[in-house]
Amino acid sequence: MGTFKNTSDGAALDVTAANLSGHTWKRDSASDPLLAYQTLSYDDNGSDSGSVSSQTVSYGGSLTVSDNGFIRAGYTFNGWNTQADGEGTDYAVGDTISNITSNITLYAKWTGVNQTVSFDGNGSDGGSSMDSITVTYGAGAVTLPANTFTKTGYTFSGWNTQTDGNGDAYDDGALISNLLSSITLYAQWIADTYVVTFEGNGSDGGSTLSVSVTYNAAAVALTANGFTRTGYTFTGWNTQANGGGETYADSASVSNLLSDLILFAQWTADTYTVTFDGNGADGGSTLSISVTYDAGAVTLTSNGFTRTGYSFTGWNTQANGEGTAFATVPRSPIFCPISPSTLSGPRTHTPSRSTATAVRPAPLRRPM
């Protein structure tokens, strides 16, 4: 018939028809589940904070499942389950659990929140747009796609959550996980720096230091020419040795290059003038001539001076005949002078003149 306690001495006794007579008995709740209260408990199952109070009910009673009071960063509450791994019986908030005959623990179920990662070219002027990606909290890392943006004069250096690069930085192709909100990643750019070097292009002396030019920075003045070339005057720079490319003046300002640059010195052969002095002549004249360096020999003009009582014998760079002599017949070829001792003026942009002076022999006397 059941287990009861004697009200007089508290002794427990299985009551049967034989011993029921003559005693006062009550049920023993410690040994009779029908008199015990059952507990419905709630487990946070990994939450960061919050709580949910447990509930009690008498044997065989019913309870309504409580609302969630737990909080877990990056996750959304998705109901309750009788197992922590979610493989048991599911219960939604507000469900009724009936005929409860034992203690029950319900475990919070969590679903990772999906966050979106978008990409911004941040000043790009080319390339292709990039599709956003989804990162689910707690579902493992996702690889960022390779950058497809381009920007003239700049090199891509990675991603950042701020346009100015002062946020969280990510490398191209980095792993990203457990975002707590959707983010936009902005392309980061470093201005390219290119080197301008200088080629003497036939020079026979001197040198010129290279310069560095950074895109979108202040213009840089080209190094002044330091090359020299005998018989030539420097006229500027060109991107091709033959002068068929882009021209730059000496010390010109350069900016926004898109590649390294070699500039070739450009040269113009010097041209000098040879003039003739009659050196005491009393008649005639002799036309001057021009001689260009490296352009081949030029024949001296035939003497056109006359002097009464004298015969012309040739030319000399000094009036007294002690300089460099040039023959009279045949006409002497003369190459472009390169120094004062060989009919040359100084090697400057403005050619100088050299003077050939007629030589005066001793006068002829009549015999007596």
Of 173, 258, 167, nearest to 216 (Cα)? Answer: 258
Across the chain, what does the average pLDDT equal? 86
Second-level CATH architecture of 194-269: Sandwich (2.60)
Joined together, the tokens standing for residue 202 give: 């036939």
Q: What is the pLDDT of residue 327?
A: 75
Please give the full DSSP string across 128-185, using - where no structure is assigned. Answer: -----EEEETTS--EEPPPP-EE-TTEEEEEEESSTTS-S-EE-TT-EE---SS-EEE
Q: What is the pLDDT of residue 36?
A: 80
Any idea which fold 36-112 has?
Immunoglobulin-like (2.60.40)
Distance in angstroms (rounded) separating the CA atoms of residues 46 and 41: 15
Q: How many CB atoms lie within 10 A of CB 236?
A: 18
Distance in angstroms (rounded) separating the CA atoms of residues 343 and 316: 9
Please give the full DSSP string across 173-211, using - where no structure is assigned. Answer: T-EE---SS-EEEEEEEEE-EEEEEEE-SS--EE----E
Q: Where are the domains of the chain?
A: 2-34, 36-112, 114-191, 194-269, 271-358
pLDDT digits (tens, 9 = 90+) for 4-29: 444 444 444 454 545 555 555 444 44
- Averages of pLDDT over each 10 residues, the chain, 368 residues: 44 50 49 74 97 97 98 97 97 97 98 98 97 97 98 98 98 97 98 98 98 97 98 98 98 97 98 94 95 91 94 94 76 49 31 50 38
Q: How many CB atoms lie within 10 A of CB 287?
A: 10
Q: What is the pLDDT of residue 337?
A: 56
Is residue 166 exposed (0-12), middle (13-18) or buried (19+ Cβ within 10 Å)?
exposed
Neighbouring-strand partners of residue 80: 91, 108
Question: 114-191 has which CATH code?
Answer: 2.60.40
Distance in angstroms (rounded) separating the CA atoms of residues 312 and 304: 10
Same fold, 36-112 and 114-191: yes
Q: What is the pLDDT of residue 344?
A: 26
pTM: 0.70
Q: What is the pLDDT of residue 326?
A: 85
pLDDT digits (tens, 9 = 90+) for 302-349: 999 999 999 999 999 999 999 999 875 444 455 555 543 233 222 233
Q: What is the pLDDT of residue 306?
A: 95
Distance in angstroms (rounded) separating the CA atoms of residues 71 and 10: 49
